[in-house]
């Protein structure tokens, strides 16, 4: 239903998250792909951030801008292939 309504989801997860394993986000993205097939790329992008903790901080990138690429995807159809570190 989310995809049929034109929904777009940019998901990111820090590889160094001490609270929630990044494997959970990988499993979620895989479950969506298993259900929708290759068309899941029309609505879901997953980015794994080296060194990032839970939603920010850590020894790697401190934060990322996921909103700007999401807006560009929703409003202009330009799906993100990367996120920009802040």
Predicted confidence at residue 11, as pLDDT, reads 95
pLDDT of residue 34: 96
**Per-10-residue mean pLDDT, the chain, length 86:** 93 93 97 94 94 82 88 96 88
| Burial of 11 (C-beta count, 10 Å sphere; 0-12/13-18/19+) | middle
Structure pTM? Answer: 0.88
Task: Please report the pLDDT score of residue 84 as a whole number.
Answer: 86
pLDDT at 36: 94
In this predicted structure, what is the pLDDT of residue 42? 94
Residues 52, 61: contact at Cβ < 8 Å?
yes
């Amino acid at each position: 239903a989310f995809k049929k309504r034109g929904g777009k989801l940019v998901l990111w997860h820090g590889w160094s998250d001490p609270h929630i394993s990044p494997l959970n986000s990988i499993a979620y993205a895989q479950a969506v792909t298993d259900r929708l097939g290759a068309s899941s790329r029309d609505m879901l992008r997953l980015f794994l951030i080296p060194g990032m903790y839970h939603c920010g901080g850590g020894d790697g990138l401190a934060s990322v801008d996921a909103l700007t690429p999401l807006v560009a995807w929703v409003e202009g159809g330009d799906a993100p292939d990367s996120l920009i570190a802040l």
